[in-house]
Amino acid sequence: MRRSHGHLGWARPAAGAAAAAVLLAGCASASTVAGSPGPSSGARTSLTVTVDAGTASAPTTWTLTCDPPGGSHPHPVAACDQIDAAPTDPFAPTPTSMMCSMIYGGAQTATVSGTFHGRPVHTRFARTNGCEVARWARVSALLAISVGVN
């Protein structure tokens, strides 16, 4: 539909759809380049995971490799499947501009370091607010401890 008010008119729907398709195609290719490569990339995943359950017991450390799943991790297949299926980088920090609920999830913390599909990883997880609890949940199989509501 086109408005007839000079230069402020609406573009024809077909032209708008074509422009949207070009824009979406550009975004898709940019996310492929900027995002983490998928499991078929052939690059190695080898991680060291240390989890502190927030109790008096000592932190637990294990290793995880994928393709094929292995290491000392208690559930390597589930952990590899979860991080490989993540639609975005599972180790990315919460953006500093993100508004997060101030709901404390517990004293648990974890560090993950090594390589994910050949890319260096060194990150820390905590359950200090709603965003961080959700971030923990996205890699819960990797962190492999059961956490309850505090």
CATH of residue 49: 3.30.350.10
Asked whether residue 25 falls in the same domain as residue 92, the answer is no
- Domain of residue 7 covers 1-34
Asked whether residue 89 falls in the same domain as residue 122, the answer is yes
Q: What is the pLDDT of residue 102?
A: 93
Distance of CA 125 to the CA centre of its chain: 12
Asked whether residue 28 falls in the same domain as residue 50, the answer is no
150 domain-assigned: no
Distance in angstroms between the alpha carbons of the first and the last residue of the chain: 56
Asked whether residue 13 falls in the same domain as residue 73, the answer is no
Asked whether residue 59 falls in the same domain as residue 105, the answer is yes
Q: What is the pLDDT of residue 146?
A: 60
Asked whether residue 56 falls in the same domain as residue 123, the answer is yes
148 domain-assigned: no
Asked whether residue 18 falls in the same domain as residue 45, the answer is no
Taking only Cα atoms into account, the Rg of the chain, rounded to an integer number of angstroms, comes to 21
Q: What is the pLDDT of residue 42?
A: 59
| Tens place of pLDDT per residue across the chain (150 aa) | 444 444 433 333 344 333 333 333 333 333 333 344 444 445 799 999 999 998 888 999 999 999 999 999 999 999 999 999 999 999 999 999 999 999 999 999 999 999 999 999 999 999 999 999 999 999 999 998 765 544
Q: What is the pLDDT of residue 82?
A: 96
What letter represents residue 43's amino acid? A
Are 144 and 75 a contacting pair, CB within 8 Å?
Answer: yes
- If one counts the domains in the chain, the total is 2
Are 64 and 142 a contacting pair, CB within 8 Å?
Answer: yes
